[in-house]
Structure formats: C-alpha cells, structure tokens
Amino acid sequence: MYSLINQLQKKDEQALREVINKYGGYVKAIVVKVLQPNQTAIEECINDVFLTIWQKSIQFTGDEIDFNKWIGVIAKYKAIDTYRSLQNKPKTVELLSSISNSKDLPERIVEQKVQKEQLFISILNLSKNDQEIFLLKYYLGYSNGEIAEIFGLSKSAVENRLYRGKLKLTEELGGI
Amino acid sequence: MNEKDFIEIDIEEIEPIELSDWEKINIEKSVLRSSSTKKYVFKKWKWVSIVAMLTFIFTSSSIWLPVVANRVPIVQQLLNNNDNPQLQVFSDNASIINQIDESNGTSIELAEAFFDGTIVSVSYEMKHEQSIDEPPLFWKGDLEVNGNKLDVLSHQIVKKNEATWIGMFTARISDKVMDEKVNVQWRPQDFIGMENTTLVEGAWDFQLELTPTRAYSRKVNIPFGNDQYQLFYNQITEGKYITTLYFEGNLDWETEFLMVDIKDNLGNVYENVGTTTIKSGSGRVNGYFEVFIPDSTIRTLIITPTIRIVDEKTLERKELVPLPSINISLK
C-alpha cells in the first residue's frame, strides 16, 4: 500500500503533515465550493475533514488514487453537512434505526451503538455509486425518490442498491 | 448554488486551491489537539478563533508585507510572500529601537515598536548559539507598560536560519484610548516551544518609550443575536493598527463561543478574526475582537456572528448556530 497511508495509519505526525501538504489544497477547493463565503465554516470544515482522515485512516483500504477519492468524498459530504447545518436543516442520520428495521441484520448489530462518524466511514468502503447513494440517504437524509432523481435512476433501482449496500454494511459493522 | 448542485460536484474535476503554510500548520495543530486527551487550561481571558478552537494559536492574521521589507531591516527577512497591508502601517509608524541585549550566549535585538493608542507591537530578532528547530513561541518573564503586566495577544515568529528566529508580538495596553507616551518594559526569560520544553535559556531586559498615534473610541449600544443569544456591541475603538469591537451578552463561557465572519462595504473579507472573552457572570461574557481596517474609505463592517457550541472537555464542535448579520458604521 501507498507508504504515506501506512505511516498515517500508524499515527505518524510527519505523515499527517505530508497529507495536509499534499491534499490540503484539494480539500480546501472542495469545501470552498460548498461553503463560500463563510470563512468560519470553511476553516471549521477543513479541520474536521483532516481530523476524520487522521482518526479513520486505519479503515482505509486501497491505493493512492483511491485515497485521493476517499479524501474528496469526505470533504464533499462534510462540507454539505456543514452547509445544511448552517441552513438550519435537520440533520437526518437515521441509519441505525433503518438498519434496525431490516430483517437481514442480526440482533447483535442492531444493539450495537454505532456512531455517526463510524457509519460515515463505513459507507465510504462501499463502491463509489452505492457510497454516494448511502451518504445521500443516511448522512443527508434524502428520500429514495430524490436520490433517484439526482442519479437518473428509477426508485426501485435506488432501493435495490440500498438493499445490497446494507448487506455489505452489515458485514462492515458486524466487525465493530 | 443549492444543496443539490453541491451533491453534483465531481470531486475528480476539482482543481486544488493553494493553502498557506499558516493554514497548514493550523490544520495540523487542530487535528493533533482534537486527538489529544490533554486538558488545556486557558487563562482567564480566552482568545479563540475558528482555528484557535482546536489549536493553541500563536499569531493573528499575517502582518508582513514585502513592499516595506526593504525599509525594515528585520522585517524584510520575514515572510516575503504575504501582502497583508497591516505591515505598511507598522512600517510607517513604528519607532526604530535597535536595542540589543545578550544573555547566556543568545542575543536579542528589539528592532522596532509601534503604539496605536491601544495596542503595542514589537519586532525582534533572536540569535542563539545553536540551532533551534522548534519555534520558540512563548517566553517566561514579563511585558509591562507603565508598570502593568500585559498578556501577549499574538506572536508570529519565522525561522531565519538554523540559529536565528525573527518575531513580532502584539499586546493590548488598554481598552481605553491612550494619548500619552507609555513606558514599555520587555523582560523575557527562557523561550519555550509548543511542547512546553525550554528551547533557549537566559534573561533579557528592554525598556523603551513609545508615543501613540491618534485613536478614537466611542460607546455604542448595538444589539445582535437572537432570542436565545442576546448580545450587543458596547464600544468601538479605532486606531491606525487595530479596530476593536467590544461586546457583551449571554453566552456560556465554557461551551459557547462567538465566532465572526466580517466583510466591509468595499467587499474586503477579514479572515481568521478571533474573539477574546472573559466570564462576567453566570452565563454572561464580555469580549472583543479586532480587525485591521486597510483603507480609510471603508465605512461599514458587515459582521455575521455564529455561536459555536462545543463539548466542554474536548472542545470539539457540537453545533453551529448562525446569527443574523449586522452592519457597524465606522467613524
């Protein structure tokens, strides 16, 4: 694996510095696109993105290109979440209750207290298309119909992907 | 752009924006600070900005300007890629001091100093016998004006070479405008790094007299906030160097912080504006924030406050509460 990621996963502060140096401008560009001109929110969000990267890099698997995308998705959705909070929109993160309603999930997972951040990172381990659908559904609270409209899919296709993604997430979260 | 437009952003098509060294340092410090379980003890006065929330910030927004660097021997060796015009004010108004004191093999030259009626700012160069790899950000010892001890508001330092660091610090002398000369004593002892390790040992002593430039102060009563957060600006002080807006209101000092985004009528955006607060009663604070007004034709500041609610122990953000913007007229 990309050695910088290895070092980051070992909580090497020099690696953190290099990651900020290498990806900071990319993260800032994404965050600025969403939160401009709110400087306070931009800085807050950039810090939050790198805190997530630092704390959750251990769960990243992939190469350098994947890492770049992983960071980009974190930045994009953290920024949208911040944007939403600034618009006073409710934060809808009902993945747990949604999972608990699923017949496919074992009780032990339903009973597991899983944090929003963990779910966010777990969702990032799904395939790219499913990942965005899940983030929209469970991180930002979009309805299946709205997601279908955004991606140009039928509602049943979205439901199908959500179903398959949940199975994968079950495996992910089962290991917690 | 709305939320759905943001969702459609293709992250693979994004072109990076340049991040300053200062921004990078602040991100790093904020991440490490947030990850740490250490409890940080604040002084009675708490200075906080969006970056300072998560890191112990050691400077305000940048202050150096290459245009004036040639005229300011020490400053010219500092950051040469920053166009913040505040340094022009420093350069135009600062007194050349050039006092040198040596202790334990380390010499410090106090180069220039400036007093704008409320704020004193001093630049210096420190030459050590050996290399200093870590920024010597803090010092023991005193900074006094007219016999009163001051806390340093901001401190910027830059590494010139392995053994030499150049710095500038700023301290608030008074909430009221002063129009008489002041006596400044700076007696640093032992410079300390971020990890609380002593980097340079010694004791130095500087004394100087500074004449203020003209400043203005006026009492106001301008409410802002919402039903939950009822605050108001009660004083505005305008000096050449710093314009200060004082406020008070109902905030929990431990967990609720006022953040401000500031623009002016010419469209300038003021970045990294931190607020300093002191607890004045149960659920109440007094505080202030400072901005450098770069142009005398600027008539209005448009201030958008946000309350940041944090976890008391970790200082991590729990919620941001945006408050309505308010316009403040300048003199």
pLDDT at A11 over 60: yes
pLDDT at residue B157, as a whole number: 75
Query: Is B8 contained in some domain?
Result: no
- Nearest residue of B to residue A152 by CA position? B8
Of B40-54, B215-229, B234-248, B311-325, which range is least confident? B40-54
Q: Answer whether the bond into residue A37 is a cis peptide, omega within 30°.
A: yes
User: What's the CATH code of the domain at B280?
Assistant: 2.60.40.1640
Interface with A, mutate which of B33, B50, B263 (most A CBs under 10 A):
B50
Contact call for B27 and A24, based on CB within 8 A: yes
Final residue belonging to a domain, choices B178, B210, B242: B210
Regarding whether B46 and B119 lie in a shared domain, the answer is: no
Can you say whether residue A158 is alpha, beta or left, with left for phi > 0 and alpha for psi between -120 and 50 degrees? alpha
Cα distance from A41 to chain B (closest Cα, Å)? 8
Q: What is the DSSP letter of B211?
A: P
pLDDT at A105 over 60: no
**Inter-chain contacts counted by CB atoms under 8 A, chains A and B:** 120
Regarding whether B181 and B152 lie in a shared domain, the answer is: yes
**From the centroid of its chain, how far is CA A110?**
20
CA distances from A133 to A52, A129, A149, B7, B134 (A): 20, 6, 11, 11, 46
As a whole number of angstroms, the distance between CA A82 and CA A139 comes to 11
Query: Is B5 contained in some domain?
Result: no
pLDDT at residue B24, as a whole number: 87
pLDDT at B12 over 60: yes
Contact call for A44 and B3, based on CB within 8 A: no
Is A20 touching B (CB cutoff 8 A)?
yes
Regarding whether B201 and B230 lie in a shared domain, the answer is: no
CA distances from B24 to A50, B29, B72, B168 (A): 11, 9, 27, 20
Regarding whether B189 and B81 lie in a shared domain, the answer is: yes
Q: Determine contact, residues B124/B167, Cβ cutoff 8 Å.
A: yes
Regarding whether B77 and B25 lie in a shared domain, the answer is: no
Regarding whether B142 and B248 lie in a shared domain, the answer is: no
Structure-model confidence comparison of residues A99 and B290, the more confident one: B290
Of A142-156, B72-86, B286-300, which range is least confident? B72-86
Total of domains in chain B: 2
Q: Does ipTM come in above 0.90?
A: no
Residues in B closer than 8 angstroms to A139, CB to CB, are: none
Residue B285's domain spans which residues? Answer: 17-57+215-329
Query: Is B2 contained in some domain?
Result: no
Query: Is B324 contained in some domain?
Result: yes
Regarding whether B52 and B113 lie in a shared domain, the answer is: no
CATH 1.10.1740.10 assigned to A3-86: yes
Regarding whether B253 and B235 lie in a shared domain, the answer is: yes
| B17 burial type by CB count under 10 A (0-12 exposed, 13-18 middle, 19+ buried) | middle
Final residue belonging to a domain, choices B159, B189, B210: B210
Can you say whether residue B272 is alpha, beta or left, with left for phi > 0 and alpha for psi between -120 and 50 degrees? left
Query: Is B4 contained in some domain?
Result: no
Interface with A, mutate which of B19, B195, B321 (most A CBs under 10 A):
B19
- The yes-or-no answer to whether A3-86 and A95-174 have a common fold is no
Query: Is B7 contained in some domain?
Result: no
Query: Is B285 contained in some domain?
Result: yes
Q: Name, of B15-24, B175-184, B223-232, the range with top average pLDDT.
A: B223-232
Final residue belonging to a domain, choices B186, B210, B234: B210
User: What's the CATH code of the domain at B125?
Assistant: 2.60.40.1630
- Nearest residue of B to residue A23 by CA position? B16
Residues in A closer than 8 angstroms to B14, CB to CB, are: 26, 29-30, 33, 72
As a whole number of angstroms, the distance between CA B248 and CA B223 comes to 10
Query: Cβ contacts of residue B139 below 8 Å, gap of 6+?
Result: B188, B189, B190, B191, B192
Cα distance from A99 to chain B (closest Cα, Å)? 24
- Which residue of B6, B16, B50 is in closest CB contact with A25? B16
Regarding whether B139 and B79 lie in a shared domain, the answer is: yes
- Which residue of B12, B14, B54 is in closest CB contact with A47? B54
pLDDT at residue B54, as a whole number: 29
Is A58 touching B (CB cutoff 8 A)?
no
pLDDT at residue B185, as a whole number: 93
Query: Cβ contacts of residue A169 below 8 Å, gap of 6+?
Result: A99, A122, A123, A126, A134
Q: Which CATH architecture has domain A95-174?
A: Orthogonal Bundle (1.10)
- Nearest residue of A to residue B48 by CA position? A40
- Which residue of A25, A43, A132 is in closest CB contact with B51? A43
Regarding whether B44 and B92 lie in a shared domain, the answer is: no
> Strand B230-238 to strand B243-249: parallel, antiparallel, or no bridges (unpaired)?
antiparallel
**In DSSP terms, which residues pair with B99 in a beta bridge?**
B110
Structure-model confidence comparison of residues A116 and B262, the more confident one: B262
Residues of B with CB under 8 A from a CB of A: 3-4, 6-9, 11-12, 14-19, 23-24, 26-28, 30-32, 34-35, 50-51, 53-54, 259-261, 263, 269, 271-272, 304, 306, 308, 317, 319-320, 322
Query: Is B270 contained in some domain?
Result: yes
Domain ranges of chain A: 3-86, 95-174
